[in-house]
Amino acid sequence: LWVLNESGRIEGFDWSVGSDEYGLNKIVEKNGWIVVPEGTATNGTTYPDGNENPTVVIIRGGREGRNGFFFPGFIDTHIHASQYPNAGIFGSSTLLDWLKKYTFPMEKSFAEGENSDVAPPKAHTVYNRVISRTLSYGTTTAAYYATIHVPATCLLASLCQQRGQRAFIGRVCMDNPAFCPDDYQDASSDESIDAMQKVIDYVQHIDPKAKLVAPIVTPRFAPTCSHTALTGLGKLAASYTPPLHIQTHISENKNEVALVKELFPGSSYAQVYDDKGLLTPRTILAHAVYLSAEERALVKAREAKVSHCPASNSALGSGICPVRTLLDDGITVGLGTDVSGGYSPSILEATRQACLVSRLLSSQTPENNGRETLSVEEALYLATRGGAQVIDMADQIGGFEKGMLFDAQLIELGRGVGEGDDQDGLVDQGGEDAGGIDLFGWESWEEKIAKWVWSGDDRNVKAVWVGGRMVHKRANI
| Binding interface with ligand GUN (CB under 6 A) | 80, 95, 99, 103, 220-221, 249, 252, 312, 338, 341
| Contact residues for 237 (Cβ-Cβ < 8 A; gap 6+) | 217, 243, 244, 245, 246, 277, 278, 280, 282
In the complex, the smallest distance separating the C-beta of residue 240 from Fe ion, rounded to whole angstroms, is: 24
The partner in contact with residue 77, picked from ligand GUN, Fe ion, none with C-beta cut-offs of 5 to 8 angstroms by kind, is: none
Give Cα separations from 369 to 351, 365, 379, 456 (angstroms): 22, 8, 19, 29
Q: Which is nearer to Fe ion, 80 or 472 (CB)?
A: 80
Residue 220's binding partner among ligand GUN, Fe ion, none (Cβ under 5 to 8 angstroms by kind) is ligand GUN
Based on CB atoms, which residue is closest to ligand GUN, 80 or 324? 80
Nearer to ligand GUN among residue 171 and residue 249 (C-beta)? 249
Min dist CB 434 to Fe ion, Å, is: 33
By beta-carbon proximity to Fe ion, the closer residue of 59 and 288 is 288
Strands 461-466 and 469-473: antiparallel
Identify the CA nearest to 73 among candidates 429, 401, 406, 361: 406
Helix and strand tally (H, E) in the chain? Answer: 15, 16
CB of 199 to ligand GUN, least distance (A): 17
Q: Pick from Fe ion, ligand GUN, none: which does 103 bind, CB < 5 to 8 A by kind?
A: ligand GUN
CB 183, min distance to ligand GUN, A: 17
Scanning 172-267, the segments in alpha helix (DSSP H) are 189-206, 227-238, 254-263
**Minimum distance from CB of 96 to ligand GUN (Å)?**
9
Per-residue contact track with Fe ion, 393 to 432, x per CB under 5 A?
A: ----------------------------------------
Closest distance of CB 261 from Fe ion, Å:
20
How many CB atoms are closer than 10 A to CB 369? 9
Q: Is residue 149 classed as helix, strand or coil in its secondary structure?
A: coil
Calculate the CA 230 to chain-centre distance: 24
Q: Are strands 68-72 and 10-13 parallel, antiparallel or unpaired?
A: unpaired
> Cα–Cα distance between 310 and 126 in angstroms, integer?
24
| 254/251 Cα distance (integer angstroms) | 7
Q: Of how many residues is the chain composed?
A: 477
Q: Toward ligand GUN, which CB reaches closer, 152 or 437?
A: 152
Residue 77 and residue 334 in contact, taking contact as beta carbons nearer than 8 Å: yes
Question: Which partner from the list ligand GUN, Fe ion, none does 27 bind, CB cut-off 5 to 8 Å by kind?
Answer: none
Rounded to the nearest whole angstrom, what is the least distance from the CB of residue 363 to ligand GUN in the complex? 25
Shortest Å, Cβ 128 to Fe ion:
21
* Residues 335-354 contacting Fe ion, CB under 5 A: 338
Cα 315-249-244 angle, rounded to 5 deg? 140
Amino acid at 477: I
Nearer to ligand GUN, 220 or 474 (CB): 220
Nearest residue (CB) to Fe ion, 320 versus 477: 320
Task: Find the shortest distance in angstroms from Cβ 287 to ligand GUN.
Answer: 7
Number of Cβ atoms within 10 Å of the Cβ of 85 = 16
Least separation in angstroms between residue 103's CB and Fe ion is: 9
**Cα–Cα distance measured from residue 435 to residue 413, given in angstroms and rounded to the nearest whole number:** 7
* Closer of 248 and 396 to ligand GUN (Cβ): 248
Residue 285 has φ and ψ, to the nearest 5°, of -105, 115
**Other Cβ atoms within 10 Å of 408 Cβ, number:** 26
Task: Pick between residue 312 and residue 384 the one whose CB is nearest to ligand GUN.
Answer: 312
**Cβ of residue 288: shortest distance to ligand GUN, in angstroms?**
12
User: Measured from the CB atom, is 143 or 449 closer to Fe ion?
Assistant: 143
Residue 252's binding partner among Fe ion, ligand GUN, none (Cβ under 5 to 8 angstroms by kind) is ligand GUN
Give the Å distances, CA to CA, from 33 to 74, 393, 414. 17, 21, 21
- The site partner of 149 among Fe ion, ligand GUN, none (C-beta below 5 to 8 Å per kind) is none
Residue 401 binds which of ligand GUN, Fe ion, none (CB < 5-8 A, kind-dependent):
none
Binding partner of residue 221 among ligand GUN, Fe ion, none, CB under 5 to 8 Å per kind? ligand GUN
d(CA 163, CA 130): 11
Return the range that interacts with Fe ion (CB under 5 A); candidates 12-20, 104-112, 159-167, 332-340.
332-340
Q: Contact between 107 and Fe ion (CB under 5 A)? A: no
- Grouping H, G, I as helix, E, B as strand and the rest as coil, residue 456 is coil
Tell which residue, 276, 174, 270, 194, has the closest CA to residue 235. 276
Q: Rule CB under 5 A: which of 110-149 touch Fe ion? A: none
Cis preceding-peptide flag for 242 (omega within 30 of 0): yes
Please give the residue whose beta carbon sits closest to ligand GUN in the complex. 341
**Contacting residues toward Fe ion, per CB under 5 A:** 338
